[in-house]
Amino acid sequence: MSISPIRRVLALSLVLWPLGPCRAQEAPDKTPLHIHAAGSLGGALRAIAARYQLETGEKIALAFGPSGLLREAIEKGNEADLFLSANRQHPERLAAEGKAAPPVIFIRNALCAAARADHPPTTDTLLDHMLDPATKIGTSTPKADPGGDYAMELFARAERAHSGAERLLREKSRALVGGAPPEPSPTQTGQSGAGPVKKFLLDGTVDLFIGYCSRRETRPDPDLVSVRMPDALAVRADYAMALLRDKSPERQAAAARFALYLMTPRTQAIFADYNFIPIAASSEP
């Protein structure tokens, strides 16, 4: 049974209640709202933040990076009001440490294999292509980046379909992204460069990159194809957000307003434009 956006917003409101109500009449804090977000959210979140600023006048500063490294930065004291992670585990850890409210899922993603458009595998042939000794595979960095953890989960699923697959895929894959320290990106519009994954595919460093089905832009890249995993290998990526504690009531209210904004049907539609899966379109475990 799918979960309606209204039920999701109500659930999030209950989580936010201990942090204090979101009162629009509170005196605004001129300091930008600091949001630490998974790098895969970059294109969609920039578009959403720009729209939110136009609608509300509230300023937002975005910092993107691998979720695991962002969580470590928050634990070390980096300024953040809201954490948007590519998995549940990192915000759950912050909540267990008393640094954040309990996390809530706000969007979903899936795993795909990116390949050059001139030599694309299909979903049906993907596992055989991955197991081919000549096929070079890239991933994100496990533990630092949930994308790498999801890739390892995918390799474990491959073992069920082909004995020895997990060991082979782990040994031949290379963690190419997601391990560098995250760099704050305070602007909300624009994205420069083609991105490291595209570079690695086009220059032949790898033939396949196991990553998310979501995109940096609303339109597919004509130089690459994104191949969905067969059902036996499908891994669902739950993105969870958590509000950070020990903030002023005004900042808590501002972060809560933006968190609720991410759950609205209009905003979920923007995520869908970047090939994310709206929460209303997925079923709970």
Kindly state whether residue 44 falls inside one of the protein's structural domains: yes
> With contact defined as beta carbons under 8 Å apart, do 5 and 265 qualify?
yes
- Asked if 95 and 123 sit in the same domain, the reply is no
CA distances from 94 to 73, 88, 219, 255 (A): 11, 10, 35, 16
CA contacts within 13 A on the Cβ side of 125: 8
Q: What is the pLDDT of residue 16?
A: 53
CB within 8 Å of 207: residues ≥ 6 apart: 115, 116, 119, 134, 135, 136, 137, 201
203 CB-contact burial (10 Å; exposed 0-12 / middle 13-18 / buried 19+)? exposed
pLDDT in tens, 182-208: 444 433 333 334 589 999 999 999 999
Model pLDDT, residue 6: 46
The reply to whether 159 and 227 lie within a common domain is yes
Two structure tokens written together for 138 = 């890239």
Shared domain check, 54 and 82: yes
Q: Are residues 196 and 175 in the same domain?
A: yes
The verdict on residue 185 lying in a domain is no
Residue 195 has a pLDDT of 84
User: Which residues contact residue 3 at a Cβ distance below 8 angstroms, ignoring those fewer than 6 apart?
Assistant: 279, 280, 282, 283, 284
40 Cα distance to chain centroid: 5
Please tell me whether residues 90 and 78 are part of one structural domain. yes
CA 162 to chain centre: 29
129 and 161 belong to one structural domain? yes
Per-residue pLDDT tens digits for 64-86: 999 999 999 999 999 999 999 99
Domain range spanning residue 275? 5-108+238-281
Report whether 82 contacts 94 (CB < 8 A): no
Residues 121, 212 within the same domain: yes
| 3-class secondary structure, 40 | helix
Same domain for 91 and 135: no
Taken in order 96, 97, 98, 104, is the CA torsion positive or negative? negative
β-bridge mates for residue 265, sequence order = none
- Is residue 31 situated within a structural domain? yes
- CA–CA separation, 271 and 94 (whole Å): 25
CATH number at residue 206: 3.40.190.10
pLDDT for residue 189: 31
Residues 212, 126 share a domain: yes
Number of folded domains in the chain? 2
- What's residue 255's pLDDT? 95
Is residue 99 domain-shared with residue 116, that is, in the same domain?
Answer: no
In this predicted model, what pLDDT tens digit does every residue of 150-173 receive, in sequence order?
Answer: 999 999 999 999 999 999 999 999
Closest alpha carbon to 182 in 49, 63, 85: 63
Note the pLDDT of residue 28: 53
What b/e readout covers 74-84, taking b as 16+ CB neighbours within 10 angstroms? beeebebbbbb
Residues of the chain with pLDDT under 70: 1-29, 180-194, 280-285
What pTM does this model have?
Answer: 0.86
Claim to verify: residue 29 and residue 115 sit in the same structural domain: no
pLDDT score for 199: 94
Residues 131 and 91 in one domain: no
